[in-house]
Amino acid sequence: MSEEKEYQKYFLEFSYIGTNYHGWQIQKNGTSVQQYVNEKLSTILREDITTMGSSRTDAGVHARQNFLHFETIAEIENDFLRKLNFLLPRDIAVRNIFKMGMKSHARFDAISRSYEYVLSYEKNPFIAETACFYPYYKLDVNILNDFSQLLFEHKDYAAFSKRRTTVKTTICTISQAEWKVDAEKKIITFYVSSNRFLRGMVRGLVATMIAGGRQKLSKENFIKLLNSSVNQKTDFSAPANGLTLTAVKYPEGYFPEPLIETIRYSEIKTGLID
């Protein structure tokens, strides 16, 4: 009798432009990034593959860096990444693959996620898919940063979570929250990092703080909203295309060397994740 093969767990580092997808997670009535990745992995490995992502991005939201894990009994060959990238749509790219222990988990082992939300004062077709066109007068970055500093003092973000969510807690620990202006590119960007994010949370914070930057919301009322537990006065109108998941971090030393030698993520300067 032949010896039965054991399952092995792998992590994939990947990126995508989310414009054409109803988010990362498989949907009943819409195309998702996960759907394509599952299908193409199953084709290459010749078995049914189901992936688990580290972060669930909403419809139209992008990811410069995300991770997923999957299990397989198949051997990972040296041309695996090349084959997978060839089969995937042009707006989804895999970057690295890591051979991991069976107890490792892409979602639960991640210790932080980082997002950027980009507003462009100029209509620019070259960044139209990844930046929100904002054809109004320039926002007061000092007011925006006064608002963002309040996030470090807060933990419960129930008021910034969309409904129809199944999370057990609305507690989040924000470690970065800052607005920066790039005068040359005519953009303003919100950078935020946290151990976790709630559904719609970043877009809710962005749109609500913009109301503050336009002096339509006082700092006092923003504090009241932070301290409330309902989202009735939260503005979730920030368009999805301006939001990008930029990094997912794991404990130091978590990953071994990539299974297949390839271009390192940090060295990518062109293409989808320029």
Q: Would you name the residues annotated as active-site residues? A: 58
CB atoms within 10 A of CB 124: 13
| Residue 129 burial (C-beta neighbours within 10 Å; 0-12, 13-18, 19+) | middle
| Residue found by looking up tokens 């078995």 in the block | 47
Closest CA to 17 of 74, 50, 62: 62
| Three-state secondary structure call for residue 182 | strand
* Residue 188, beta-bridge partner list: 119, 181
Do 222 and 233 form a contact (C-beta atoms < 8 A)? no
> What's phi and psi for 110, nearest 5 deg?
-70, 140
199 sits in the region (left: phi over 0; alpha: psi -120 to 50; else beta) called beta
Do 69 and 77 form a contact (C-beta atoms < 8 A)? no
* DSSP conformation class of 77: -
User: What are the residues whose beta carbons fall under 8 Å from the beta carbon of 66, sequence distance 6 or more?
Assistant: 13, 14, 15, 16, 24, 53, 54, 55, 57, 245, 248
Distances (CA, A) of 4 to 13, 232, 239: 29, 56, 50
